[in-house]
Structure 1
Amino acid sequence: MKQYAVYRHIRGRALIFGLPVAFFALQLLAVIGSLMAVIFSFDLVLLFGAMVANGILYGLLLKWAQRPEMLRVGNVFPDMISNKKITIHETYDEPS
């Protein structure tokens, strides 16, 4: 009798060809755009250039999917975290 392994990573993110869905959509748009460019202006150099460009884009997207910290531009946390109580009544002159 054939035995099946239990799939335990049900909460993992969905991957298509090793890419998250958003990256796969970007790759698909690039492939469709390059196909349209090749079809409407057929050139052998453009065909090979589109293949190389799509391959490079796929490699970059795979690398970014494995290491998402490479995409972060700004700081995630503030420079300073303080437990000091914030008070509204600083210094003001009371009428006498």
Structure 2
Amino acid sequence: MRKYMIYKDICKGARIWGLPISLFALLMLSILASLLIIIFSFSLMVIILAMGWNLCWYAVLTKMSYNRNLLHLNKVFPDCVSNKQDNLLNHVEN
């Protein structure tokens, strides 16, 4: 009887081919675009270039997904949101 391992890293997010869903979607868009290029300009060199491009793109995306520092963007929103009016004079209360 076959045994199945329990997937304990479900909180880290779903992965397809080792990529998060958004990066996997980028990879699939690249593959679809290269297929369209191959269909409309059929030659051996174009096929080799498209395969090389998709392999390099996959390698870059996997590096980006495992190295979170590459995807780290600056904070857009402040830590605290308040309706309190800013007062330049700290000793005066409203």
Give the TM-score normalised by structure 2. 0.71
| Partner Cα distance (1:2, 1:42) in 2 | 45
Which runs of 5 or more residues in structure 1 are unaligned?
Answer: 77-86, 91-96
Q: SS where residue 11 of structure 1 aligns?
A: helix
Consecutive unaligned residues of structure 2, counting only runs of 5 or more, are 77-85, 90-94
Read off the aligned partner of 1:46 and give its amino acid letter: V
Q: How much does 1:69 deviate? A: 0.8
- Supply the RMSD in Å over aligned alpha carbons: 2.9
User: What's the % identity of the aligned pairs?
Assistant: 35
Query: How far apart, CA to CA, are the structure 1 residues paired with 2:66 and 2:6?
Result: 24
Tell whether 2:4 aligns with 1:33: no
Aligned residues: 83
1:64 aligns with 2:64: yes
How far apart, CA to CA, are the structure 2 residues paired with 1:89 and 1:38? 64
Q: Over alpha carbons, which structure has the higher Rg?
A: 1
